[in-house]
């Protein structure tokens, strides 16, 4: 039980990577606030945790809204006590190039990933201080390492998270608050398969397209796409005391994809 007695707030908690974190953290003894834009997705994960004997609270949260953040942190603290862990997983992408990317898409992607993580850190830090310190994890990407000709907003937002992580790590180290960024490679999740409002996919971009699947596989030297659980296990390490001296760092979980 690596997280016995700890309280965690997880955004994108109704999604694949956030949901895997929520379930794993709960199994390791944490009480978990499961926050998502779609409340029913958060509720499904929270219910699963409770049915397995864990402690969870489902929260509706649009990470782009600071008022929503204040309410989510307050509700989690009321239910379980001050936060020791914040995981910023909520993400958005629209896979078009520079010429095609609209201002509206830019606002959605940068607003969800970068502004959302900034607002989350601001909202959570007073609670983390009340807990006597804690850990913030931001969800990066291969785009945090080598953004290219894909969606410029996604590249800018995920690169921006590297700077946000370092700024938070440097600022809050004296409070005993660590901050790190975990960057997955190609993870088989709805983000890359389904046609959602925050991450639209069509036949050209979806993993349902075998050619697209094979291309991502070819670009992964260890020979398989990552699972949400691969990412969750690394995030568990980062938030646990095993990583007590890790702050400001990026940890890549990509099967070697960034080597190419
Ligand atoms: N799947 C991959 O290959 C991959 C690779 C690198 C990074 N990532 C990152 O992982 C994170 C999680 O994605 P996933 O793969 O689990 O996909 P997912 O679609 O399963 O989960 C994303 C979750 O974020 C929620 N969300 C979207 N906008 C939100 C908002 N404004 N406020 C609150 N919640 C919101 C969605 O409802 C969804 O539950 C994202 O930040 C994504 O950029 C994914």
pLDDT at 6: 98
Which of 88, 118, 188, 189 best tests ligand 1's pocket when mutated (most atoms within 8 Å of CB)?
189
State how far the alpha carbon of 45 is from the alpha carbons of 190, 196, 212, in Å: 15, 19, 29
**Averaged pLDDT, 216-239:** 98
User: Are the beta carbons of 28 and 2 closer than 8 angstroms?
Assistant: yes
Whether the pLDDT of residue 196 is over 90: the answer is yes
To test the ligand 1 pocket, which listed residue (34, 67, 89) has its Cβ within 8 A of the most ligand atoms? 89
Q: What pLDDT score was predicted for residue 226?
A: 98
Residues with CB under 6 A from ligand 1: 11-12, 14-18, 36-38, 41, 61-64, 89-92, 112, 139, 141, 184, 186-187, 189-192, 198-199
Mean pLDDT, to the nearest integer, of 89-95? 98
Where do the domains of the chain lie, and which CATH numbers do they carry? 7-185+228-255 (3.40.50.720)
Average pLDDT value for the chain: 98
pLDDT at 189: 98
What is the spatial distance between Cα 184 and Cα 178, in angstroms, rounded to a whole number? 20
Query: Quick one: pLDDT band at residue 235, thresholds 50, 70, 90?
Result: very high
Q: What is the pTM of this model?
A: 0.98
Ligand 1: centre distance to CA 148 (Å): 20
- pLDDT, residue 41, reads 98
213 is catalytic: no
- Residue 5: how many other CB atoms lie within 10 Å: 11
pLDDT at 260: 82
- pLDDT band at residue 20 using 50, 70 and 90 as cut-offs: very high
Ligand 1 centroid distance, CA of 174 (Å): 31
Averaged pLDDT for residues 32-47:
98
Catalytic residue, from 154, 172, 198, 213: name it: 154
């Amino acid at each position: 039980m690596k997280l016995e007695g700890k309280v965690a707030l997880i955004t994108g908690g109704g999604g694949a990577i956030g949901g895997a974190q929520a379930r794993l953290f709960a199994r390791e003894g944490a009480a978990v606030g499961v926050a998502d834009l779609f409340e029913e997705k958060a509720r499904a994960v929270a219910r699963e945790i409770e049915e397995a004997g864990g402690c969870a609270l489902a929260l509706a949260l649009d990470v782009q809204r600071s008022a929503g953040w204040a309410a989510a942190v307050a509700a989690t603290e009321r239910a379980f006590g001050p936060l020791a862990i914040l995981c910023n997983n909520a993400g958005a992408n629209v896979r078009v190039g520079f010429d095609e990317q609209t201002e509206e898409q830019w606002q959605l992607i940068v607003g969800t990933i970068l502004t959302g993580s900034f607002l989350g850190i601001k909202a959570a830090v007073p609670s983390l201080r009340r807990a006597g310190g804690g850990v913030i994890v931001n969800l990066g990407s291969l785009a945090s390492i080598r953004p290219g000709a894909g969606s410029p907003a996604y590249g800018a937002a995920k690169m921006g998270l590297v700077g946000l992580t370092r700024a938070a790590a440097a600022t809050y180290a004296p409070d005993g608050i660590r901050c790190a960024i975990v960057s997955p490679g190609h993870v088989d999740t709805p983000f890359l398969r389904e046609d959602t409002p925050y991450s639209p996919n069509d036949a050209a971009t979806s993993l349902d397209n075998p050619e697209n699947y094979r291309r991502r596989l070819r670009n992964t030297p260890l020979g398989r796409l990552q699972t949400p659980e691969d990412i969750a296990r690394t995030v568990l390490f980062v938030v646990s005391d095993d990583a007590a001296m890790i702050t400001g760092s990026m940890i890549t979980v990509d099967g070697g994809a960034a080597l190419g």
